[in-house]
Amino acid sequence: MLIVRRCGALEAANASAREALSGLRIGGFVPVQDAARDDFRRYLDRCASSTATLPGTLFLQCDDGGLERHCCHGTRARLSGFGDGSLVLLHLDGLGLGRRFNILASKLHDARRVMQERRRRAREMQALLREREELLGRLKADATARLAAERERDEVLARLYRAGQDERRRLARDLHDHAGQHLVALNFGLRRLLPHLTQPDARMELDRLLEQAQDVGEALRRVTLELRPAALDEFGFVTALRYLVDEWSRTTLMATELQVSGEELHLPAEHAITLYRITQEALTNVAKHAGLPSYVSVVLLFGAGRLTLTIDDDGAGFEADGASAHSLTSQGKLGLSGMRERMALIGGSLEIESSPGQGTSVVARVRFGKDGSNDD
């Protein structure tokens, strides 16, 4: 449907006409064939002068320069919205059915091509998703296998650690029960010989032997203590630790304080010996590397199924930000690395906080059953 002035100027066109006739321009002239332009104006004059609907034929130019033939009917129109002047309402019969079909076919072809492209991309995406799922499955399987291997390794190391501690306990007991008794008997035997010796040289030689026997006894006691502190089995963890701290303070002449907080719980054997060795190693490091600290503090904090052990000093300190296992080993700090490994074997953790001139804090944390049910 077109609304045209008598001069051929286009005033309006409906959507169907605009879709079928791409050359239409509102305000411009209807693109009729040049040779038929006069006939087209005469036809518009007849339509504007008559009250009847008059048939006609239009030859319209396309954008590609071709011509399209359209049958039409025209009638006079009076529309207030288009100002003064006569208007002609043209109805084009079968308006551009071929062109509209071609347009729709082209759109359908484009839509089909887009859908095919989407399906192709969807297939590629599904293939990528399958590859991703397979990769995730392999990664999950590898992670599971790695975790299983790590758990098995930890279990083996824990069994070896417990076996080593059991062997140390057995050796310490054997040394105390057998070698210690023989040494006591030797001392008594030498002392019984003393009244029977009259020569000064012989008595001096016997005194020297007694001193050697006493030195052997002291060395045997130290070895036994290193293998397995008897106080752990006889008096418990806290008492053994208190004895260790007091003995270390007396030997090094450094003021040392042991504080115990919370309700004391029974520790599994391997936890007790590990924390005892951690304290022993930390105090040894203080004596070797802290210089002359003004205080050393050992704090035991018992909680619900957990224990925190802290060893503090205000000595020389060191750079602990990069205190990883590798860096500690490369710096020769094997004691700190060994402390972490010991804590890991009982499922605990060890943190080291230190900086040059600010002292050092060694914090060991471990969880266990409140009733000590995981004691071997």
What is the pLDDT at residue 369?
A: 62
What is the pLDDT at residue 164?
A: 73
pLDDT, tens digit (0-9, with 9 covering 90-100), for 72-96: 888 888 777 777 778 888 888 765 5
pLDDT classification of 121: cutoffs 50, 70, 90: very high
pTM: 0.49
Evaluate whether 60 touches 23 at the Cβ level (below 8 Å): yes
Residue 243, token pair as written in the block? 């004895």
What is the Cα–Cα distance from 305 to 301, expressed in whole angstroms?
A: 11
Most confident of 65-79, 86-100, 117-131, 287-301: 117-131
The per-residue b/e assignment along 176-215, b for 16 or more CB within 10 angstroms, e otherwise, is beeeeeebeeebeeeeeeeeeeeeeeeeeebeeebeebee
Residue 224, pLDDT > 80, answer no
pLDDT, tens digit (0-9, with 9 covering 90-100), for 293-302: 888 999 999 9
Structural domains of the chain ordered from first start: 2-95 (3.30.450.20), 229-367 (3.30.565.10)
What is the pLDDT at residue 329?
A: 45
Evaluate whether 77 touches 88 at the Cβ level (below 8 Å): yes
- Residue 76's nearest CA partner among 62, 61, 93, 89 is 89
What is the Cα–Cα distance from 46 to 118, expressed in whole angstroms?
A: 55
- 47, 92, 110, 263, 278 from 243: Cα distances, Å: 125, 114, 90, 20, 15
Which residue has better confidence, 140 or 330?
A: 140
- Residue 260's nearest CA partner among 210, 297, 224, 221 is 297
Contacts of 307 (CB under 8 A, 6+ apart): 265, 267, 271, 275, 300, 301, 365, 366, 368
Contacts of 162 (CB under 8 A, 6+ apart): 270, 376
- Decide: helix, strand or coil at residue 155: helix
What is the pLDDT at residue 321?
A: 61
Average pLDDT over the chain reads: 81
- Residue 70's nearest CA partner among 12, 23, 7, 9 is 23
pLDDT, tens digit (0-9, with 9 covering 90-100), for 321-361: 655 544 544 444 446 778 888 888 888 999 999 888 888 99
Most confident of 11-20, 149-158, 285-294: 285-294
Most confident of 103-112, 143-152, 177-186, 314-323: 143-152
Q: Which helix (H) or strand (E) holds 11?
A: strand 10-13
